[in-house]
Amino acid sequence: MSHGSTVIVWFRRDLRLADNPALAAACERADRVAALYVHAPDEEGDWQPGAASRWWLHHSLERLAESLRARGAALHVRRGPTLQALLAVARETGATQVFWNRLYEPAIAARDARVAAGLDEAGLLGESFNAALLVEPWETRTAQGAPYRVFTPFWRSCSAPVASQPRPHPAPASIAGASLTAPGLALGELGLLPKVRWEAGLAAAWTPGEQGALDRLEAFCEHALAGYNEGRNRPDLPDTSRISPHLHFGEIGPRQCLAAVRNAQVDRSGAGAGAETFLREIGWREFAHHLLHHFPRTATEPLDERFARFPWAPNPAWLEAWQQGRTGFPIVDAGMRELWTTGWMHNRVRMIVASLLTKNLRQPWVDGARWFWDTLVDADLASNTLGWQWTAGCGADAAPYFRIFNPALQAARHDPDGSYVRRWLPDAMVDYPPPVVDLQQSRAAALAGYALIKAGTARPT
């Protein structure tokens, strides 16, 4: 690259400086870096960021801007269309190349392909990198050349590339920023924060940004990793990593998680079983992206096509009761209130609330997925789709349909002294509603519906 060269680094959901391949390449190859965020949610199709995600994004961009400023660069913010914004910044800075880290959701991947073509047409070089996954979706297939549909053989096929992952790169010590001539936007102008301020619970529970991600991972490895194998099923205990929103926004990457776990295995005896279980959870995230890439319709359609004929029983009143935590099943309602307050829900409880909605209440799984999409700070299209289809019984490697969680038994097993329920449902003994359905009768109705699609006699709802 010639003397005085400038590269645009197009930030998206890779909001970190450490182990950021696009940024590292730009710092290595160019004299100046134009760090750019383009706000174009309409280019994300039907899955634009929900309210909780927008709150997180605002604060994560603030932290990224501070980190860049401390190293000599500014974060420039523009509105879309993305291609027009990139071309404008290239004209202002004289940049000849644009670097970015890949995303994999169908609408975003299609947009990125259009952007790459537009850059090429304009005489600019676009280059993309992998910052988000250990194994990209197209890098592994079955012996027959097909995408994987079952997790265990998928993760086994990833063992060699995972074992050979390089150590993560540190953040650059300094970044020579490029100046822009046209005024950019202040983050507040993007309208990411709610007009009616409801987010106090999110702010109390989370620290968005790269440093918050690193601190949380370190605390998890020190205090909870060794017991993760058992502790991950206990919503009453602080024994999960809670790094999912940080991973979604790219404030930390999976290579950094892998390195931290490896270090913990060396430094702390007894981390073995917990470490392997945690890495399998990272593997499930990889599997989710593999599935969504190869089966893009599954964001709204069941992978198991028989379930397109499942006799759902849409009931707005039941859906609203579930959303508001008023189903009459304490652990379900506690989970839904934890979600509303903090933007997060323990994974065991996610399975319980999803089972109740899709099986006992027979509400379409997409309705649950869309509610989670708007309310979760870790709303990730691939993981959200995999989780809901797994619980509904219609996805890859799904739980058998007849596996219907009993909320009372689940609470007794995983919240044995009731502390989780008491924390999020303190009013359970005051004006608490009766159960919206009878568990045994609704279970029988769900199984009857499954029998119809299995026999091929059900009609679409």
Nearest to 187 by CA among 276, 20, 47, 69: 69
Calculate ∠ Cα 378-22-293, nearest 5°. 50
Q: What is the pLDDT of residues 300-355, one digit of tens each?
A: 999 999 999 999 999 999 999 999 999 999 999 999 999 999 999 999 999 999 99
The answer to whether residues 291 and 386 touch, using CB atoms and an 8 Å cutoff, is yes
Determine the pLDDT at residue 195.
83
Distance CA 366, CA 372 (A): 10
Query: What would the mean pLDDT of 373-377 be, rounded to a whole number?
Result: 98
Global pTM value:
0.95
Distance CA 219, CA 214 (A): 9
- Is the model more confident about 24 or about 182? 24
Active site residue 388: yes
Active site residue 424: no
Is the confidence at residue 196, as pLDDT, over 90? no
Residue 357: DSSP 8-state: I
Active site residue 312: yes
Q: What is the pLDDT of residues 280-296, one digit of tens each?
A: 999 999 999 999 999 99
Active site residue 284: yes
Which residue segments constitute the domains of the chain, with CATH numbers given?
6-131 (3.40.50.620), 133-167+209-294 (1.25.40.80), 305-455 (1.10.579.10)
Query: Catalytic: which of 47, 155, 344, 365?
Result: 365
Determine the pLDDT at residue 147.
97
Is the confidence at residue 145, as pLDDT, over 60? yes
Query: Catalytic: which of 127, 136, 229, 312?
Result: 312
Distance CA 441, CA 43 (A): 44
Phi, psi of 97 (to 5 degrees): -140, 150
Q: E-strand spans in 383-443?
A: none
Query: Catalytic: which of 62, 284, 315, 340?
Result: 284
Query: Catalytic: which of 281, 301, 340, 406?
Result: 281
Q: What is the pLDDT of residues 383-412, one digit of tens each?
A: 999 999 999 999 987 667 788 999 999 999
Query: Catalytic: which of 55, 388, 390, 424?
Result: 388
Determine the pLDDT at residue 2.
52
Is the confidence at residue 44, as pLDDT, over 80? yes
**Cis peptide before 81, with omega less than 30 degrees from 0?**
yes
Query: What would the mean pLDDT of 208-233 be, rounded to a whole number?
Result: 95
Distance CA 337, CA 351 (A): 15
Q: What is the dihedral of CA 215, 193, 350, 258, to 10 degrees?
A: -30
Query: What would the mean pLDDT of 150-175 be, rounded to a whole number?
Result: 94
Determine the pLDDT at residue 460.
55
Determine the pLDDT at residue 216.
97
The answer to whether residues 82 and 119 touch, using CB atoms and an 8 Å cutoff, is no
Calculate ∠ Cα 287-146-14, nearest 5°. 35
Query: What would the mean pLDDT of 64-93 be, rounded to a whole number?
Result: 97
Spacing of C-alpha 203 from chain mean position: 19
Q: What is the pLDDT of residues 240-275, one digit of tens each?
A: 999 999 999 999 999 999 999 988 876 665 567 889
- Is the model more confident about 194 or about 16? 16
Determine the pLDDT at residue 273.
83
Active site residue 55: no
Mean per-residue pLDDT of the chain: 94
Is the confidence at residue 461, as pLDDT, over 80? no
Is the confidence at residue 6, as pLDDT, over 60? yes
Q: What is the pLDDT of residues 104-129, one digit of tens each?
A: 999 999 999 999 999 999 999 999 99
Q: Which residues pair with 126 in a beta bridge?
A: 98
Nearest to 256 by CA among 210, 296, 299, 225: 210
Determine the pLDDT at residue 350.
98
Active site residue 365: yes
List the single range of 251-255, 377-381, 425-429, 451-455 with lowest mean pLDDT: 425-429
